[in-house]
Amino acid sequence: MSAPAPLVTGPGEPCELLLRDVRALDPRAGIDARLDVRIGGGRVLELAEPGSLEPTGEVEVIECSGRLLATPAFFDPHVHLRTPGQEHKEDLETGTRAAAAGGFCGVIAMPNTDPVLDSAPLLRSLRDAAAREARVPVGFLPAITRGLQGEQLSEMAELRTEGALGFSDDGKPVRSAGMLRKALQYQRLCGGVLALHEEDPTLSRGGSMNEGVVSAALGIAGIPTVAESTMLARDAALAGYEDARVHFQHLSCRASVAAVASAKEQGWRVSAEVSPHHLLLTEEDVRGLDTRMKMHPPLCTHDDRLALLEGLRDGTIDCVATDHAPHARDEKEVPFEQAPMGTTGLETAFAALYDGLVLPGSIELPLLLLRMTAGGELFGLAPPTLSAGEPANVALIDLDARWVAGEHGWESRSENCCFGGRALQGRVLVTVAAGALAHRDRSLAMAGSR
């Protein structure tokens, strides 16, 4: 029996596109030049000297005048599409539309749905739905333990034959070390990366934000950073002992970066991700009790933020992941402690990081692009590239465009974005995902295309 393709591609038809005189930048493939780029039949067909390619047939031409940037589209290994069961927050169509608007050519959906994605029939039906509705390819991580209860392994081997990319109990830690160890051992049979949400519930219990100066001033129960870092260190040691492959989700603090670095030094097979909000915001942003700033793990201190940034630059942290977590308006429009955890992030990820980190010189653009495209590789997928002959996964970006996040509403069904209302520079105009036109900014028809 041959396993199905790990990513489910939606119904989009291959597009015919000619990007004329675009600044092509693909650090992984060593491309950095002004070029004409022809896309068609699902692939990048040709890269040539600017002005040398002519349109043929029904091709859409975008005049980029050396000003617009073409890069491999991004990949997000951590999103919540809320389907099944919470479609009032998001569904496969709106979630992948948000991904496309943010320049992503693929996402991996988490299993904390209702019911929990922990069985082969449910995975099959979700994959069928994604094939009908998804704007960009979607992969699924079913639960490590049944019902996310931490008591019994899900049928991991069968789930793998049905296309599970890996496994995660995201939203919850695998509390028992013994249970996680069984999953790590079972990985030898079925493969699949285990993506881990690290949080010791006996330390985080009842907390709504980072424990520290701000939580003390507000009287809100705090979550200490050791709730994450101690559990992470435990699980890294388990993975090392079993020679298993694990991925640490949404790092939030300096101690966790250090724990990942030490695990990598030992040669253990671990990888890690960080979210745009943890790279850009701190507990000070929680002072106003804006419920969009309430997420898990919580925003920590300025020092933690700097450590995350350093970890992203030196490769301790492998990739950026948004942890896109949509919640309905009425669920977030409540007192802070009552509000659910999470912020949306797909539509603002690149702009927030470009505006907040690249422009002030905290990180080079090519390195940011590497980290925003690396998420799929960690789960065994080919990285997106601009190389001729490869599948077309391309983001066309106007680095000079200024906009206010959310000014024209959101593609996501939810609007709980921690960057909402911020003035940002850098905007994704076009996303080609698996060869299909997944997103075209409304301004583009006026601005340059023919």
Partner 1 sequence: MNHLLSIEELDREAIERIVSQAERFAEVSDREIKKVPALRGRMVLNLFYEASTRTRSSFELAAKRLSADVVNFAASGSSVEKGESLKDTVLTLSAHKPDAIVLRTPWVGAAELVSRWCSAAIVNAGDGKHEHPTQALLDVYTLRRRLGSIDGASIWIVGDVAHSRVARSNVLAFQRMGAKVTIVGPPTLIPRGFEHLGCDVRYTLDELDSADVVYALRMQHERMSETWVPSMREYAAWYQINGRRLSPRQILMHPGPVNRGVELSGEVVDSPQAVITAQVEAGVVVRMAVLYELLAGPREPRAAVAAASAERATVGGSRA
Q: Is 59 in the site for partner 1 (CB under 8 A)?
A: no
118 is catalytic: no
Q: Which is nearer to partner 1, 36 or 331 (CB)?
A: 331
- Binding to partner 1 by CB under 8 A, coded x per residue (else -) over 106-145, reads ----------------------------------------
Helix (H) or strand (E) holding 33: strand 31-40
Interacting residue with partner 1 among 13, 58, 265, 330 (CB under 8 A): 330
The SS3 assignment for 107 reads strand
Q: Segment near partner 1 (CB under 8 A), from 74-82, 328-336, 351-359, 431-439?
A: 328-336
Interacting residue with partner 1 among 336, 377, 387, 390 (CB under 8 A): 336
* Beta-bridge mates of residue 139: 108
Interacting residue with partner 1 among 205, 302, 402, 450 (CB under 8 A): 205
Q: Is 212 in the site for partner 1 (CB under 8 A)?
A: yes
Pairwise CA distance, residues 192 & 206, whole Å:
32
Please tell me the number of Cα atoms within 13 Å of 422 on its side-chain side.
21
Q: Segment near partner 1 (CB under 8 A), from 53-61, 262-270, 376-384, 409-417?
A: 409-417
* Beta-bridge mates of residue 427: 398
Burial class (CB in 10 A: 0-12, 13-18, 19+), 261: middle
Q: Are 16 and 59 in contact (CB under 8 A)?
A: yes
Burial class (CB in 10 A: 0-12, 13-18, 19+), 341: middle
Size of the site for partner 1 (CB under 8 A): 39
The SS3 assignment for 173 reads coil
At residue 411's C-alpha, the angle toward residues 407 and 415, to 5°, is 65
Out of 21, 91, 323, 355, which one is annotated catalytic? 323
Q: Is 207 in the site for partner 1 (CB under 8 A)?
A: no
- Binding to partner 1 by CB under 8 A, coded x per residue (else -) over 264-303, reads -----------------------xxxxxxx----------
For 138, residues 6+ apart whose C-beta sits below 8 A from its C-beta are 7, 8, 10, 81, 92, 96, 106, 107, 108, 109, 130
Pairwise CA distance, residues 223 & 246, whole Å:
24
Pairwise CA distance, residues 260 & 256, whole Å:
6
Interacting residue with partner 1 among 66, 115, 201, 421 (CB under 8 A): 421
Q: Is 213 in the site for partner 1 (CB under 8 A)?
A: yes
* Beta-bridge mates of residue 39: 17, 44
Structure tokens at 129: 């739905």
Could you tell me the smallest distance in angstroms from the CB atom of residue 211 to partner 1?
5
Q: Segment near partner 1 (CB under 8 A), from 125-133, 165-173, 214-222, 244-252?
A: 214-222
Q: Running DSSP on this structure, what letter comes out for residue 324?
A: B
Pairwise CA distance, residues 125 & 332, whole Å:
30
Q: Segment near partner 1 (CB under 8 A), from 136-144, 186-194, 352-360, 413-421?
A: 413-421
For 445, residues 6+ apart whose C-beta sits below 8 A from its C-beta are none
* Beta-bridge mates of residue 385: none
CA distances (Å), origin 384, targets 56, 297, 398, 434, 448: 26, 29, 19, 9, 25
The SS3 assignment for 280 reads helix
Q: Is 215 in the site for partner 1 (CB under 8 A)?
A: yes
Could you tell me the smallest distance in angstroms from the CB atom of residue 419 to partner 1?
11
Q: Is 33 in the site for partner 1 (CB under 8 A)?
A: no
Could you tell me the smallest distance in angstroms from the CB atom of residue 307 to partner 1?
19
Q: Are 71 and 64 in contact (CB under 8 A)?
A: no
Could you tell me the smallest distance in angstroms from the CB atom of residue 410 to partner 1?
9
Could you tell me the smallest distance in angstroms from the CB atom of residue 348 to partner 1?
12
Pairwise CA distance, residues 447 & 441, whole Å:
10
Q: Segment near partner 1 (CB under 8 A), from 147-155, 311-319, 415-423, 440-448?
A: 415-423
Q: Is 214 in the site for partner 1 (CB under 8 A)?
A: yes
Q: Is 422 in the site for partner 1 (CB under 8 A)?
A: no
Interacting residue with partner 1 among 33, 48, 189, 334 (CB under 8 A): 334
Interacting residue with partner 1 among 30, 178, 219, 360 (CB under 8 A): 219
Q: Is 220 in the site for partner 1 (CB under 8 A)?
A: yes
Interacting residue with partner 1 among 338, 364, 400, 423 (CB under 8 A): 338
Could you tell me the smallest distance in angstroms from the CB atom of residue 252 to partner 1?
17
Interacting residue with partner 1 among 51, 66, 85, 206 (CB under 8 A): 206
Q: Is 216 in the site for partner 1 (CB under 8 A)?
A: yes
Q: Phi/psi of residue 20, each to 5°?
A: -95, 130
Interacting residue with partner 1 among 54, 333, 364, 400 (CB under 8 A): 333
Pairing of strands 17-26, 60-63: parallel
Catalytic residue positions, numbered: 323
Residues contributing to the site for partner 1 (CB under 8 A): 205-206, 211-222, 224, 287-293, 329-330, 332-339, 406-407, 409, 415-416, 420-421
